[in-house]
Chains A and B, each alone.
Chain A
Amino acid sequence: MAQAAQLLFDENGQPFIVMREQENQKRITGVEAVKSHILAARAVANTLKTSLGPRGLDKMLVSPDGEVTITNDGATIMEKMDVQHHVAKLMVELSKSQDHEIGDGTTGVVVLAGALLEEAEKLIDRGIHPIKIADGFDLACKKALETLDSISDRFPVENRERLVETAQTSLGSKIVNRALRQFAEIAVDAVLSVADLETKDVNFEMIKMEGKVGGRLEDSILVKGIVIDKTMSHPQMVKEIKNAKIAILTCPFEPPKPKTKHKLDVTSTEDFAALRQYEKETFETMIRQVKESGATLAICQWGFDDEANHLLQANDLPAVRWVGGPEIELLAIATNSRIVPRFAELNEKKLGSAGLVREITFGTAKDRMLSIEQCPNNKAITVFVRGGNKMIIDEAKRALHDALCVIRNLVRDSRIIYGGGSAELAAAIQVAKEADKIDGIEQYAFRAFADALESIPMALAENSGLSPIDALSDLKAKQIETGNSFLGIDALYTGTNDMKEQKVIETLLSKREQISLATQVVRMILKIDDVRVPDDEKMGGY
């Protein structure tokens, strides 16, 4: 490689060093670099490929501490895969950004990027400059997005039934599909209850997900209220409160701690006695203040002193301690209460209310949780997931999150396209058609882009146990012949290729984002032609 060029000579013949420690760095350049990157990216994409679609399989990931995660959520797999190759890391980022932006389609985006790179490699072998390929991809991407827009459908967001169907598409590929309908309804109801249809905004922070091991997936429910993993601070406090007035406190039931540093010296017995008196009074004042405000339940972010705890109990004031920050905020929103930082600030107006507060018990173990229901602000809700073991619950939560995202995207932008690879195929056909009209080398890139788009339905067919090439060529012929762009892979063997009939729905937003994100990353990878990696960290693989 071109390492000798790094040692230059000035006009006097003195050597000078442009780059230090050449021998300690690994370096690859030019086509070789691009090819090695493509290889790495494709390897990652190949791992994910088998997770695509309703019949895709899961991946088992073992963390450094030996914990097992089983998932088919692309973003989660990528995150836990422990990659070290820099380009593979780019793919991880790609999947993550799709997750952040859209929440769904994290597998598809990686598979698409992998396919694009595979096509690019072929072109590079034919001697086309990577930049030309990148530019061609960019143009093709625009065309594909246009096509998507043109085949998109309006979706009746008001129609709950249709929303449930959409959620079912998203959940269909996950383990929760044994209770598909139920989970889809949970997701839809959750989003609809927090969604603001006027501003088309969905605040996910209002949806809390709690999981508890035990029971079955079918036992999962949507609680209109908040469930927190806490119990009453004193074992003998009442376990059920009706029409509770809730005081939310962020100050501990302890003697006050001034922020400024101070020392209190006890020098005589009088001081000692006075101090005792003070201590006692502080506790009593605190309790009195809470009681006087009319609260029937105190929720506190901090701990209680034993004495305070008993005083609360003696005064019939149930209390919950060590409630986390985000939970406190959710509670405050749900119950319409103010978060009170000091006891003295507490008054009746700042209290929240809830129709029912109760402790729920599970199984034979002593697991208890506190559920706060019938809140005045029904926007805060909790999805409570049950399942055979922790891995199932985690996976169910991830699946639900994806479904929630899909519904949210629909609320934001009601345009949809149909799944099953139909949209990709339609775009591919249009892009291929367009290619013939282009003069210049970009034409090849255009065709390559179309081929790459076809890889999605291809992977779907493969995962479903169909013969991929047969299924795809059949489908393509049909789409061109009938002009019906809703034809996709019949992954579940229902007997029809029309995705509109099968009700396999995806959001336009998600698909657009997938294609444009994948193209961007591919462009970026194609443009790299020189990589240096410091060798001393033993990161080397070259």
Chain B
Amino acid sequence: MLPVQILKDSAHEERGESARLSSFVGAIAIGDLVKSTLGPKGMDKILISGMDGQGIKVTNDGATILKSIGVDNPAAKVLVDMSMTQDNEVGDGTTSVTVLAAELLKEAEKLVNQRIHPQTIISGYRRALGIAQQALKNSSNASGDQIREDLLKIARTTLGSKILSQHKEHFAQLAVDAVLRLKGSANLDAIQIIKKLGGSMNESYLDDGFLLEKLPGMFQPRRVEKAKVLIANTPMDTDKVKVFGSRVRVDGVAKVAELEAAEKLKMKEKVDKILAHNCNVFINRQLIYNYPEQLFADAKVMAIEHADFEGIERLALVLGGEIVSTFDSPATAKFGACDLIEEIMIGEDRLLRFSGVQLGEACSVVLRGATQQILEEAERSLHDALCVLVTHVKEAKTVAGAGASEILMSAAVAAEALKVGGKESLAVEAFGRALQQLPTIICDNAGLDSAELVTRLRAEHAQGNHRMGIDIEKGEITDVVALGVIESYNVKLCMVSSAAEATEQILRVDDIIKAAPRQRAQDNRPC
């Protein structure tokens, strides 16, 4: 009998053991890839993107690394996806979540090899997750009054593993100040990060005004005090006729001139209307042509063109104005206001600075650094820190960092595992072992004797000293809470839950069916 082909030509199917193997291998590879970036002594990765090797990134942010490598293995994709979600949800812990998921899968692989049904492993993991979450919750402390100190400590912990670690004190202050200005709202939009090449990183600063990378037109005032700002989104080039199907038809040169005059008049009227608002600063999202620009200059109004959409929205938020598109009712229009608008120099570039703004929420962070890569990495790190802080402000609970929480959970899970009967018990135990891997990897990355330290740490926790963690700098066990290494409860919780969720998803798979890939140009990305 002839062979029967069921799937399309290049589609293929992997079943049972081989499917499981392929997803384990893929996921574990991803875990190993980002493993070395974990912890304060983790190393960075260089990512070369694009065809010509132009865009070079240096980063140790898990989400950024995973985003940039084109993975093909479906299980690896699940992990990448999960890391992205962690990034969106809480901003930090993207590496830890991937490493933890990979470790959980590694443990699961061992169990599968012992002929334990994946569903049994899953239910064991679930039970363990519940125990770990409970243990974490019990160990968390509400920040209460000393939220500022706690925020500072958290920021330091987060920044400690990033490129900013040399200046973590400086940046921790900066991030906390910025977040506290938000007054509890989680609107990160109000914090603007401006990167300027040159200078050293500790020249970065928080500007309590608002910076805009735009300049006023020629011959217009460079400095405005007590500014009354009209923020607009309106065409200031040629005002098109929007009525459908209209077009201009003229039968002589004279008519063209007339029409031109009419057009000019129209623009003039528009500018007059704007001026009738009695504002002294006009900011438009769209272009301002030279004719209206000149008119504004004549009226001594500062006119700024082409502030992009985000800029306009942020400006409106900061200055408390309204984005207007029609100018017929000057009485009802809401103006933005600030005390002073002036030009400042950062490095080589000139920027506009709005200071004394109404809404105290907004601020700008100016980052300085020697290379583009450093600046970008600094921005990512700062963004992570800001996200974590904002998350923490929402639910102000802290847990001990530096491996203490992981060991705490691991110990709790291991203790419970003894009470579970049946095969599930093995899975619960495995979950505990996987949790323990995180501090182990952090130690390994720092060149410390992980086996020694982690076991000693475990012993401390067994005696009830739940505040003990690893002091990476000194390479010993200390009370990390006293050391000030704490993390946000929410971030940690989210990390454990999503890692477990992704693991479960991958474990449930026993069959991989790949459709025939769509024909397309070759992908030259690395990996």
Report A's interface with B, CB cutoff 8 A.
28, 32, 35-36, 39-40, 43-44, 47, 50, 55, 57-66, 68, 70, 72, 77, 80-85, 88, 175, 178, 213-217, 234-236, 254-258, 261-269, 272-273, 275-276, 278-279, 282-283, 305-307, 309-311, 313-314, 361, 363-367, 387-392, 465, 538, 541-542
Q: Is B53 an interface residue (CB 8 A)?
A: no
| Contact of A268 with B505 at beta-carbon distance under 8 Å, contacts A59-B512, A263-B245 already known | no
Cα of A234 to Cα of B85 in the assembled complex, Å? 28
- Chain B residues within 8 Å of A59, by CB: 509-513
B6 at the interface (CB under 8 A from A): yes
Contact indicator A66/B510 (Cβ below 8 Å): no
Q: Known contacts A63-B515, A68-B77, A279-B241; can you find 9 more A-B pairs with CB under 8 A?
A: A57-B118, A59-B511, A60-B23, A60-B511, A82-B8, A85-B6, A257-B244, A267-B250, A389-B78
Contact between chains at B5 and A541 (CB < 8 Å): yes
Main secondary structure of the interface of B (DSSP, over half): mixed
Pair A391/B513 contact, Cβ less than 8 Å: no
Enumerate B65-120 residues with CB–CB distance to A below 8 Å.
72, 74-75, 77-78, 81-82, 84-85, 88-91, 117-120
- Measured CB to CB, the nearest residue on chain A to B249 is A265
Give Cα A273–Cα B513 distance, bound, in whole angstroms: 65
Tell me if B419 counts as interface (CB < 8 A to partner A). Answer: no
Complex CA–CA separation, A263 to B247 (angstroms)? 7
* Contact of B324 with A by CB under 8 A: yes
Partner of B241, one of A36, A276, A361: A276
| B186 contacts partner chain A, Cβ-Cβ < 8 Å | yes
Can you identify 14 A-B contacts, CB atoms within 8 angstroms?
A57-B509, A58-B505, A61-B515, A65-B517, A72-B508, A81-B513, A82-B7, A178-B504, A216-B498, A265-B246, A282-B243, A388-B498, A391-B505, A542-B2
Contact in complex: B325, A311 (CB < 8 Å): yes
* Given A55-B119, A264-B247, A266-B248, A364 contacting B3 (CB threshold 8 A): no
Q: Does B483 touch A at the CB level, under 8 Å?
A: no
Instruction: Tell me if B183 counts as interface (CB < 8 A to partner A).
Output: no
Chain A residue nearest to B286 in the complex (CB): A306
A268 to B262, CA, bound (A): 9
Distance to closest chain A CB from B469 (angstroms): 26
Evaluate contact between A279 and B78: CB separation under 8 angstroms: no
Contact A309 B259 (CB under 8 A): no
A58-B509, A175-B505 known; A84 vs B5 contact (CB < 8 Å): yes
Partner of A465, one of B120, B241, B324: B120
* Shortest distance between the CB of B72 and any CB in chain A (Å): 7
Q: Tell whether B411 is near chain A: CB-to-CB under 8 Å.
A: no
- Shortest distance between the CB of A307 and any CB in chain B (Å): 5
Please tell me if B387 contacts chain A, counting CB pairs below 8 Å. yes
State in angstroms the CA–CA spacing of A364 and B516 once bound together.
37
Q: Give the distance in Å from the alpha carbon of A224 to the alpha carbon of B512 in the complex.
A: 38
| Chain B residue with the shortest CB-CB distance to A260 | B245
A307 nearest CB neighbor, chain B only: B325
- Count residues of chain B with CB under 8 A from any CB of chain A: 87
CB atoms of B517 and A389 under 8 A apart: no
The residues of A that contact B15 with a CB separation of less than 8 Å are 47
Which of B249, B259, B501, B514 has a CB less than 8 Å from the CB of A392? B501
Q: How far is the CA of A43 from the CA of B4 in the complex (A)?
A: 10
Summarize A's interface: helix, strand, loop or mixed.
Answer: mixed
A272 touches B259 (CB 8 A): yes
Is B313 positioned at the interface, with any CB of A under 8 Å from its CB? yes
A28 cross-chain contacts in B, Cβ below 8 A:
2
Is the pair B497, A216 in contact by a Cβ cutoff of 8 Å? Answer: yes
Contacting residues, chain A, for B518 (C-beta < 8 A)? 64-65
When the two chains form their complex, are residues A307 and B509 in contact, meaning their CB atoms are under 8 A apart?
no
B146 to chain A, nearest CB (A): 24
Query: When the two chains form their complex, are residues B6 and A272 in contact, meaning their CB atoms are under 8 A apart?
Result: no
- The verdict on B135 contacting chain A, using a C-beta distance below 8 Å, is no
| Contact A55-B117, Cβ < 8 Å, known A215-B89, A364-B90 | yes
By a CB distance below 8 angstroms, the chain A residues around B245 are: 257-258, 261-264
Whose C-beta in chain B lies nearest to the C-beta of A366?
B189
Contact A276 B248 (CB under 8 A): no
- Listed from nearest, the 4 A-B pairs whose CB atoms lie closest are A541-B5, A310-B325, A57-B510, A82-B515
| Interface residue B188 (Cβ < 8 Å from any Cβ of A) | yes
Q: A61-B515, A364-B387, A366-B189 given as contacts; is B258 within 8 A of A269 (CB)?
A: yes
**Chain A residues within an 8 Å CB radius of B9:** 84, 538
Which B residues between 245 and 304 are near A, CB-CB below 8 angstroms? 245-251, 255, 258-259, 261-263, 266
Could you tell me the distance between the alpha carbons of A361 and B325 in the complex, rounded to whole angstroms? 27
Q: How distant is A256 from chain B, measured CB to nearest CB, in Å?
A: 7
The number of A-B residue pairs with CB atoms under 8 Å apart is 248
Would you give the shortest CB distance from B395 to chain A, in whole angstroms?
A: 13
**Is A278 within 8 A of B323, CB to CB?**
no
Residue B376, interface by CB 8 Å: no
Which residues of the partner chain A approach B248 to less than 8 Å between Cβ atoms?
A: 265-267, 272
Interface residues in B133-151 by Cβ distance below 8 A to A read: none
Question: A214, B85: Cβ atoms under 8 Å?
Answer: yes
| Chain A residues whose C-beta falls within 8 Å of the C-beta of B77 in the assembled complex | 66, 68
Interface string of B305-330 (1 = CB under 8 A from A): 00000000100110000111110010
Contacts of A80 in B (CB 8 A): 513, 515
Q: Which residues on the A side are within 8 Å of B119 (C-beta)?
A: 55, 57, 465
* A261: min CB distance to chain B, Å: 8
Cα(A389)–Cα(B74), bound, Å: 14
B13 interface contact, C-beta 8 A: yes
CA distance A361 to B363 in the complex (A): 21
**CA of A175 to CA of B13 in the docked complex: distance in angstroms?**
22
Chain A residue contacts of B317, Cβ below 8 A: 235
Q: A84-B7, A254-B242, A255-B244 are in contact. Are A47 and B13 (CB under 8 A)?
A: yes
Instruction: Enumerate chain A residues within 8 angstroms of B4, measured Cβ to Cβ.
Output: 36, 39-40, 43, 85, 541-542
Residue of B nearest to A218 (CB): B497
For residue B390, CB closer than 8 A to chain A, the reply is yes
For the complex, is B391 an interface residue (Cβ under 8 Å from A)? yes
Which partner residue on chain A sits nearest B390 by CB separation?
Answer: A364
Q: Taking A64-B515, A70-B505, A82-B515 as contacts, is the C-beta distance between A364 and B391 under 8 angstroms?
A: yes
Which residues on the B side are within 8 Å of A389 (C-beta)? 78, 81-82, 84-85, 498, 501-502
Chain A residue with minimal CB distance to B518? A64
In the complex, chain B residues whose CB is within 8 Å of the CB of A217: 501
Chain A residues near B3 (CB-CB < 8 A): 541
A8 to B5, CA, bound (A): 33
Q: Does B504 contact A175, Cβ atoms closer than 8 Å?
A: yes
* Complex: A32 Cα to B2 Cα, angstroms: 9
Report how far A65 CA is from B515 CA in the complex, Å. 9
Is the beta-carbon distance between A44 and B234 smaller than 8 angstroms?
Answer: no
- The residue in chain B whose Cβ has the minimal distance to the Cβ of A235 is B313
Q: Given A236-B316, A264-B243, A364-B188, are A61 and B262 neighbors across the interface (CB < 8 Å)?
A: no
* B512 near A60: Cβ-Cβ < 8 Å: yes
Q: Does B233 contact A (CB under 8 A)?
A: yes
Q: Complex formed: what's the CA distance from A210 to B252 in Å?
A: 60
B2, A36: Cβ atoms closer than 8 Å? yes
Closest A residue, CB atoms, query B333: A314
Determine if B332 is an interface residue (Cβ-Cβ < 8 Å): yes
User: Bound state CA distance, A39 and B2, in angstroms?
Assistant: 11
Q: Which residues of chain A have C-beta atoms less than 8 A from B78's C-beta? A: 68, 70, 389, 391
| B contact residues around A55 at 8 Å (CB) | 117, 119
Contact B508 A70 (CB under 8 A): yes
Residue on B with the closest CB to A367? B88
In the complex, residue of chain B having the shortest beta-carbon distance to the beta carbon of A28: B2
- Given the complex, which residues of B lie within 8 Å of A72, measured CB to CB? 508
A392 to B9, CA, bound (A): 29
Q: Does B193 contact A (CB under 8 A)?
A: no
Q: What residues of B have a CB within 8 angstroms of the CB of A214 in the complex?
A: 85, 88-89
Q: Which of A32, A88, A314 contacts B329 (CB 8 A)?
A: A314
B75 to A60, Cβ gap below 8 A? yes
Q: Which residue of B lies closest to A387 (CB)?
A: B501
Q: Determine whether B448 belongs to the interface, using a CB cutoff of 8 Å to chain A.
A: no
